[in-house]
Amino acid sequence: MSVPHGDEARVIPISEAPSFEQQSFERPSADELAERLAKLLAFLRRRVTGDYEVDEFGYDAELTDKVVLELIRPLYTHWFRVETLELKNIPDDSGALVVANHSGTLPLDALMLQVALHDEAGRPLRLLGADLVYQLPVLSHLARKTGHTLACREDADRLLRKGELVGVFPEGFKGVGKPFAERYKLQRFGRGGFVASAIRAGVPIVPTAIVGAEEIYPKIGDLKTLARMLGLPYLPITPFFPLLGPLGLVPLPSKWMIEFGEPIRTDEYEPSAADDPMLVFNLTDHVREVIQQLLNELRLRRGHAFPPFL
């Protein structure tokens, strides 16, 4: 396994992942099946021998494309039936910061956003995650492998300056763990560190609205004492969990829509403007207002969340 450093570090585009290929929905022939088997065996050999590449953050493009996204794509396509809107607002090959609302009790919205941009915009999304993600042994390793990194200034700045598409959910756990009664009401966006990173890198901010995630695990209560004992920000009670045990962890099949709003330019500011707290606060508040408006409009456009009321 090789890890580039310094000047050798580069963006690994999806098209260079050894497993990248267009999805085919036709029944494969015998020759195609044999070719796929050969590719699978070659993939396994590379994994065993360590003959694969990761970038300086630990991102493994081949593993992400060939294994992880393949596992979660059925949720995207068949269970949530995700529909994307205004993909034209995503840059083709330059850096940008995708800022989205967060919800759903479990952060499946982050994974669905990653699939959407990978499959429909042809770009990997480098998500910025909370500290808790990187304190859990298995999850921390997997997050790094799939292109996620810690939500800190240094990592965000480096990714954006490399021309990566970076995703952030400024609501954090307050957003993903909000009660069902407060669905689609944005929580605070923190201190605006993501805006400062965008200004320093001179990249656009793409406000993004995700509708559908709020209904997959309707949170009606919280086991706060047990959550504190386990070191978790919350431990939800839903209509099906913990009543039905592991079966209650199956997400409800709500209809999802993801809309990418008009990019908000930051290249008109000097990099030093990132140190102006008032400017950062005002721009952060503007991004939040745009996303809230997109959410309101998208909810009306989608209508009811569950089948058969579509």
What are the tens digits of pLDDT across the range 45-102? 776 776 668 888 888 888 898 889 999 999 999 999 999 999 999 999 899 999 999 9
Phi then psi dihedrals of residue 147, to 5 deg: 100, 5
Peptide bond into 308 cis (omega under 30): yes
On average, the pLDDT of the chain sits at 84
**pLDDT value at residue 19:** 43
Q: Which of the pair, 183 or 17, is modelled with greater confidence?
A: 183
Nearest-Å Rg of the Cα atoms of the chain is 20
The two tokens of residue 246 are: 């592991």
pTM of the model: 0.82
CATH class of the structural domain 57-216+251-302: alpha beta
Task: Examine the pLDDT at 21 and tell me if it is beyond 50.
Answer: no
30-39, 223-232, 239-248: least confident range: 30-39
Task: Examine the pLDDT at 258 and tell me if it is beyond 70.
Answer: yes
Task: Examine the pLDDT at 125 and tell me if it is beyond 90.
Answer: yes
**pLDDT value at residue 306:** 56
All residues at 6 or more sequence positions from 269 whose CB lies less than 8 Å from its CB, including other chains: 199, 202, 279
For the chain, the domains span 57-216+251-302
Task: Examine the pLDDT at 296 and tell me if it is beyond 50.
Answer: yes
Residues counted in the chain? 310
